[in-house]
Chains A and B, each alone.
Chain A
Amino acid sequence: MEIDPLIFRLSIFILSIFVGYYVVWSVTPSLHTPLMSVTNAISSVIIVGAIIAGLSGNSDSVFNTSSIFGFLAIALAAINIFGGFLVTQRMLAMYKKKKKDK
């Protein structure tokens, strides 16, 4: 009997939780705020689902109920992607080391 592809996805999911667990514990506490903003940005990779949804209309009508929800989701996710990555970059640029020679 063939293995359901769902099992493979589940394996990826479970293993990623463990990867996340170890990676996040190694994040230095002083960078916990950038951690939150960058996780925000990357979880907006949900935009791939939104794009599929947005393109679900046919050539005669781009807009139907389903694709409109897709387009809205694209805009929301895009706010997060750009906002999340840029604000993280802005924060990280502020973390400076002590100047050794004064």
Chain B
Amino acid sequence: MTQAATNASDLMVEMHNVNKWYGDFHVLRDIYLEVKRGERIVVCGPSGSGKSTLIRCINHLEEHQKGDISVGGVALTQDVKRIEQIRRSVGMVFQHFNLFPHLSVLENCCIAPMWVQKKPRKEAEALAMQYLERVRIAEQADKYPGQLSGGQQQRVAIARSLCMHPDVMLFDEPTSALDPEMIKEVLDVMVELAEEGMTMICVTHEMGFAKTVADRVIFMDQGQIIEENAPEPFFNNPQSERTQLFLSQILGH
């Protein structure tokens, strides 16, 4: 990142000193993260380091106990209306896709625009087809999720999120549950999305993806952000020992 000065209104996601506990267990410790509009962040780290919890706090799927989070300038509070407002502007893609199995692919994409944004069915369907087209799965629109492969399901899940016109997309290990031959088709869609300027926070171990699209790579361990850098210095010249160890473990074979 070259621009040092950031206008406050450019900030899409702000997390200031966010702390979270599961009972006594301190999962997130003083997280400080600011994401600008259009910025692409990749979060990595060993399992249990709190990276999924971190992004799940942004749309309040997990509740943080201390600190401040705001999305697009709207502060996240306990207020249900406020939470729903933020969720409407934050798309999320899950590790296990979480498509709705009782609805067809098209209905999966239409249901939120129709019931949350009150769009008429025709308009919602046209929108859904447009995004299904973009993730190259429009021809499967009438099938049910159970009839699709993992990679296809994940692409539908991305289209489903995009139908809400989110300002930010959160990806929670989107390729970890996929068979190896399907990872590429999902990553390709994500790269295209990044190229179109979508603000993205992506928890992933796909280091190739991080190198191609990330503006910043964040390394987490034991609930803390250990290191944060542009991909090139991050991979070639990691500062902390824990980052070096982690990178040697995932890249060193």
Q: Do A and B bind each other?
A: no
